[in-house]
Structure 1
Amino acid sequence: MKQRAYAKINLCLDVVYRREDGYHELEMIMAPVNLYDTLNFEFSDELRLHSNVPYLPLDRRNTIVKAIELLREEYGFKENFEITLQKHIPTQAGMAGGSTDGAAAIRALNKMLRLGMDNEKMVEIAKKVGADVPFCLRSRPAFVTGIGENLEHFRVHTPFYLLLVKPYKGVSTKVAFETLDFSCAEHPDCRKMRQALIANDYEGVLQSLGNTLEQSAFKLVPQIATIKRDLLGLGFDGALMSGSGSTVFALTRDPELLEKGAAVMRKKAAFIRKTELRPQEEPGWMNRSHQ
C-alpha cells in the first residue's frame, strides 16, 4: 500500500506560555505544502525498513516504527511489514518530516489490517507518536492549539507561491523551546492569519506572518536570519521560519521571482524547493507543479 506523506509549514506560530506539565501551549496555522515523502507498505515475516536516507534509526526513535508498535500494543496484531521510504523532506527542518511519515504508517495499517479506527481514534494514537502527527493524518490547513492535538480545519482561498530554503545546519526542537525567553517573546495573531487565508486577503497573510521560535532559532543557527533577510532583499513579499526551523519559506505571486530566488539561494543553502500549498479542489487554485 502506497502513501504520500506531505510536509507542512507554519504560517503563524505563537508559543503562548510554558505549561506546568513541561509542554508549551501553542496557537498555530499549519498548512501542507506540495512536497512529500513516499512510503510503500507490504506484509512481511519481520519488520523491515528501507530508505534512501541511510542514517534513519530503526527503533522507536523512528516515528514509523513507533506508530506500528503503538498500534500493535493497542490491537494485538501479529503481522509485520516491509516498508520502503523515499525521503524528500529534509530533517530538522520544521516541516514535520518525521511526523508525517508516522501519520502515513497509522493510515496504512488502519487500511491494511482493517482496524476500523475513526478519526478520533487515529488522533489518539497519533498524539502518542508526536505533537505534529495529528495534523499530518489529514494534511489539511488547520488552526492548531494545545500542544498540537486540537485542530480546526479550514479552506484556504489565498493563492501564492512558496520558496523553501533550508540552511546546512538544523535546529533541535527541544533546544529551541528550552532557550525561548518569554520576557521578550513575540506573539503573532494566528486568528488573523486564518481569517486572511480564508478571505483571499494576501496583504493580510503577509501582515500576519509570525513565529515566536525565530527568537531562539536565530541565536542557535544565525544563517536562518541571514536567509530570511536575503529572501526579503530579493523582493519576496514575506518570509518566515517554519516551526522550530531551520527552513525559511518566502511568499510571492510572481513566478519569475520564484525562479530567480531559487537560482540565487541554491548557492547558499542545503535544500531549495519551489512549491505552493498542497492543491485543494478549488476553482482558480494555483496547482501547477514546481518539483
Structure 2
Amino acid sequence: MLDFPNAKINIGLFVTSKRADGFHNLLSCFYPVQWMDALEILPAAWNSFDMTGLPVPGDPDSNLCLKAYKLLQQDFNLPPVQMHLHKVIPMGAGLGGGSSDAAFALRILNKLFELDLRAGALEDYARQLGSDCAFFVRNKPVIASERGDVFMDAALDLKGYTCVIVYPGIHITTAEAYGSIKPSQPDCSLEMLLKQDVKVWKKILVNDFEKALFPKYPELPFIKEKLYEAGALYASMTGSGSAIYGLFEGEAPIDFPFPDHYLIWKGLL
C-alpha cells in the first residue's frame, strides 16, 4: 500500500511557557502543504526497511516509521512488513516531514491490516511518537496548543494562494531552537489574528523562533526579505526552522535569486 506523507507550515508560532516535563507549550496554526514523501508498506516474510531520496542521518532502525510499526505490533501482533520510504521533505526544516512519515505509517498499517482504528485512536498512538505527529492523522488546518498535540479546528481556508517554501540546507535541531527561546504569551488570541486579512499578517503574526535564530543564521532573514520583494503577502519561518515560506495571491514568480543548493517547493494551497 502506497501513500504520500505531506509537510505542514506554521502560520504564527508562539512559545508560551516551559513545562515541568522539560518540553514547551506552544500556540500555532498548522496548515498542510503538498510537499510530499512517498511511503510504501507491504506484507512480507520478514521485516525490512529501506530508504531512498534525501539522506536521513542516524540509525535507520530508529526511524519513526519503524517505531510506528512496533507500536502497533505490540497491541495487534502485526505480521512482518516491507517498508520503503522515499524522502523528499528535508529534515531539520520545521516542515514536520518525519512526523508525517510516522503518522502515515500508522494510517497505512491501520488500512492494510484492517485494524479499524478511528482517527482519535490513531492520534493517541501518534502522540507517543512525537509532538506534532498527531496532526497528520486528520491532516487539516488546526490551531495547535500544549506540546503541539492538542487541536482545535481552524476556520482558515487559503485555497487560491500559492505557497513557496525555501530550504537553505541549514539543519536546526529542536534543542538548538528551543535553547535560546524566551517563552511569552501573545498579546492577542491566535484565532483572532488568523481572521484578519492575509495582507496584514505581516504586521501581526510572528514566529517566536525567528528572533532567536535570525541573528545566528543571516541567510534566513535574507530569504524572507526576498520573498516579500517577489510579492509575497506574508512570509515566515515554519516551525523551528530553517525553511522559510511565502504566501502569494494567485501565481508566484518562477525564478528566485537563491543559490542552486537551496531546495524550493511551490504549490497551490
Match of 1:270 in 2: 262
Determine if the alignment matches structure 1 residue 48 to structure 2 residue 40.
Answer: no
Match of 1:117 in 2: 117
Distance 1:187 1:108, change over 3 A: farther
- Kept after mapping to 2: 8 A contact 1:46/1:82: yes
Q: Secondary structure in 1 aligned to 2:172?
A: coil
Q: CA RMSD for the aligned pairs?
A: 2.2
Distance 1:43 1:161, change over 3 A: same
- Kept after mapping to 1: 8 A contact 2:9/2:32: yes
Q: What's the CA shift string for 1:87-121, capped at 9, x where partnerless? A: 22111111001000000100011111222212221
Identical-residue share of aligned pairs (%)? 27
TM-score by length of structure 1 reads: 0.84
Q: Secondary structure in 2 aligned to 1:137?
A: helix
For 2:173, give the aligned amino acid.
Answer: S
TM-score by length of structure 2 reads: 0.90
Specify which structure has the higher proportion of helix: 1
Q: What's the CA shift string for 1:234-262, capped at 9, x where partnerless? A: 3322210000000000121152xx224xx
- Kept after mapping to 2: 8 A contact 1:188/1:209: no
Match of 1:141 in 2: 141
Match of 2:156 in 1: 156
* Equivalent-residue separation in structure 2 for 1:193 and 1:40 (angstroms): 39
- Kept after mapping to 2: 8 A contact 1:186/1:211: no
Match of 1:2 in 2: 2
- Kept after mapping to 2: 8 A contact 1:10/1:242: yes
For 2:110, give the aligned amino acid.
Answer: N
Q: CA deviation at 1:192?
A: 2.3
1:1-291 → structure 2 map (5 Å cutoff): 1-53=1-53, 55-56=55-56, 57-60=59-62, 62-77=63-78, 79-159=79-159, 160-182=161-183, 189-196=189-196, 201-255=197-251, 258-260=252-254, 263-267=255-259, 270-277=262-269
Q: Secondary structure in 2 aligned to 1:156?
A: coil
The structure 1 segments of at least 4 consecutive aligned residues displaced by more than 6 Å after TM superposition are 185-188
Q: What's the CA shift string for 1:173-213, capped at 9, x where partnerless? A: 12101221348x977742224434xxxx3335444431111
* Equivalent-residue separation in structure 2 for 1:45 and 1:58 (angstroms): 20
Q: CA deviation at 1:230?
A: 2.1
Distance 1:132 1:180, change over 3 A: same
* Equivalent-residue separation in structure 2 for 1:234 and 1:194 (angstroms): 23
Q: Secondary structure in 2 aligned to 1:230?
A: helix
For these two proteins, the number of residue pairs brought into alignment is: 266
